[in-house]
Amino acid sequence: MNLENMKCFISLAECLNFTKAADKEHITQTSMSRKISSLEEELNVRLFYRDNHSVVLTDAGREFYIQAQRLLEAYNASIETVQNIHKGFTRSLKIGVGIYESELLSPFLGTYVSDHPDLRITCLQYSYRELLKRFEQNLLDVIITSDQFLAGIQKEYFNAAMIYEHDWRLAICRESPLASLERISSSDLENEVLITMYDGSISQISDHYKPFFRFRDIIHVNSYDTKMMMVNAGLGFGMIPDFIRLGKYDHVIKKSFAFPYLPRKFYALCRKNDPNFYVNEFFGEYVEFTAEGNGAAS
């Protein structure tokens, strides 16, 4: 498959305009049209609905856009690896983290980097589903993740070590009436608004949390930062792992639940028998570090 055609497809999928996509790729509009047609002929699939007024991705085009991005990332990663070997940078490590885990990694990473000044380390953050996909595609060497999607991986191919298992905490604005309570009970939350990243309908979210507590209303957000920003503004409450440091959210405090609440545990994963020596070394040293109680922020 022609990589230039694929790059042109990605540009058109993002611009949905032949003129803008052609300008982005520094080619003529006619050349852009030919490349897209050539790609569709090669795949025997229509990727766009297009007329004189609009360009729209087909269902197949939307799926190919996702796959094409991954193919180009893998291609670029292989080029980078070859170039690094040519330059003498043969030692490298790609680490992936999910929504919260940078705070589990940070206390260890600085020391490890100091001990390995010639090791090329890259850290990347993704949603948990995307994190596991990239790990299974060999785009990441070590990941630190919650157990949200671990049931779906082929465990016989991976080393997995639990690195954190403690009850989660309630994040509330310090001006909230709940702030005066030592521990928060289920009944205390019945008139409160839940701010959550849990993806689903209101009924699905309610059913998910029903075994633990009820609430008056739900606000769904798509990132940790937006959740904490809204809690900081007093718009509702959220749940966070106990190791989270509140940092810039100066109006947020952490409170303990009056009941056990452990929705997620956290794990480090690497591939078994990985040929990269530093993958196994990093994994082993990090797991040992967390076992000694150093991995969580106080």
Q: Per-10-residue mean pLDDT for the chain, 298 residues long? A: 89 93 93 93 93 90 91 79 60 92 95 90 93 91 94 87 95 95 93 88 80 88 93 96 91 94 94 87 95 64
Indicate if 136 and 244 belong to the same structural domain: no
Domain identity same for 187 and 150: no
pTM confidence score = 0.69
Q: What is the per-residue pLDDT for 298? A: 39
Say yes or no: 175 and 67 in one domain.
no
Give me the pLDDT at residue 11, please. Answer: 93
CA distances from 34 to 7, 10, 40, 117 (A): 13, 15, 10, 48
Dihedral (CA of 112, 117, 120, 126) sign: positive
Q: Are residues 160 and 271 in the same domain?
A: yes
Element holding 14 (H helix, E strand): helix 3-15
Identify whether 76 is part of a domain. no
The CATH number covering residue 9 comes to 1.10.10.10
Assess whether 63 and 190 both reside in one domain: no
Statement to judge: residues 34 and 21 lie in one domain: yes
The total number of structural domains in the chain stands at: 3
Do 132 and 202 lie in one domain? The reply is no
* Residue 73 parent element (H or E): helix 59-87
Q: Are residues 238 and 195 in the same domain?
A: yes
Given this model, what pLDDT does residue 294 score? 63
Same domain for 187 and 49, yes or no, is: no
Residues of the domain holding 62: 3-71
Contact 16, 56 (CB under 8 A): yes
Residues 245 and 273 both lie in one domain:
no
Does residue 188 sit within a domain?
A: yes
pLDDT score at 29:
92
